[in-house]
Amino acid sequence: MNRGRAVKSLAALAQDTRLDAFRLLVQAGPDGLAAGDLAARLDISPPALSFHLRGLAHAGLVRSRQDGRFIYYSADYDAMQSLVGFLTENCCGGAACAPARATGRKSIARRMP
């Protein structure tokens, strides 16, 4: 991860709707969610969602795959890891920044119903 990509990734996540969308995709697991499903959960219009997903995809934080007439979006965990790695190495004084207690208290991995 370089500075340019980091800025793009940060910008993609720096907006309520997109951060919410990304968090939902992270929770949803590797299979992701169909665009319409996401739009419903976020309570936004299809064009609005399309606009924001394009931003996340352009930053490399989400991928999409078509299945019939549905388009499934999923979080790119590696990209997110790279971003956190960049922030840890470059913006936390070089030392480990928040390594402990990473075993998630909330959002207890309830993925795939």
Which chain residues interact with DNA by CB under 7 A? Answer: 11, 15, 17-18, 34-37, 39, 44-55, 64, 66, 68-71
Shortest Å, Cβ 41 to DNA: 11
Residues 104 and 107: their CA atoms lie apart, in Å, by 7
| 43 touching its own copies, by CB under 8 A | no
Any residues with CB less than 8 A from the CB of 69 and at least 6 apart, and which? none
Residue 77 contact among its own copies, DNA, none, beta carbon within 5 to 8 Å by kind: its own copies
Report the residue from 2, 43, 67, 94 that binds its own copies according to the rule CB under 8 A: 94
Quick count: other Cβ atoms within 10 Å of Cβ 39? 20
Quick count: other Cβ atoms within 10 Å of Cβ 21? 27
